Amino acid sequence: MSKFMILYRAPVSSRDQLANATPEQLEAGAAAWQAWGTKVGYALADLGAPLAHTTHVGAGAAGADGVCGFSVIEAGSADEVDTILDGHPHLQMPGASIEVLEFIPMGDL
């Protein structure tokens, strides 16, 4: 099994999403995420959390534009990850997308 970093991207920051949502929207969103987590089961290694862009260190351009959260999934292949992400609640948000990055095993360091 491989691990995959799931980056949730959206045109609206997590802080703004949470601040502008009604209690009903928050409840519906939490229920949708819980249902997805139940469907995914053991493949969901880490549900993750919402993220807020805080700072950038280094000379290069910041690369986290639009990243608003993450999860970690364990799967046998990228195709399996695509199946797991089918119908993900994050994709119901207009302009939202999901980026998948595979962890590279580092051996026993």
Total-model pTM: 0.85
- Domains of the chain, with CATH numbers? 2-102 (3.30.70.1060)
Which sign does the torsion angle of CA 62, 67, 70, 73 carry? negative
* Per-residue pLDDT tens digits of the chain, which is 109 residues long: 999 999 999 888 888 888 889 999 999 999 999 999 999 999 999 999 988 876 777 777 666 578 889 999 999 999 999 999 999 999 988 889 999 999 998 886 6
Q: Rounded distance, CA 41 to CA 44, Å?
A: 6
pLDDT of residue 54: 67
The predicted-structure confidence for 47-67, as pLDDT tens digits, reads as follows 999 888 767 777 776 665 788
DSSP 71-106: EEEEESSHHHHHHHHTT-GGGGSTT-EEEEEEPPP-
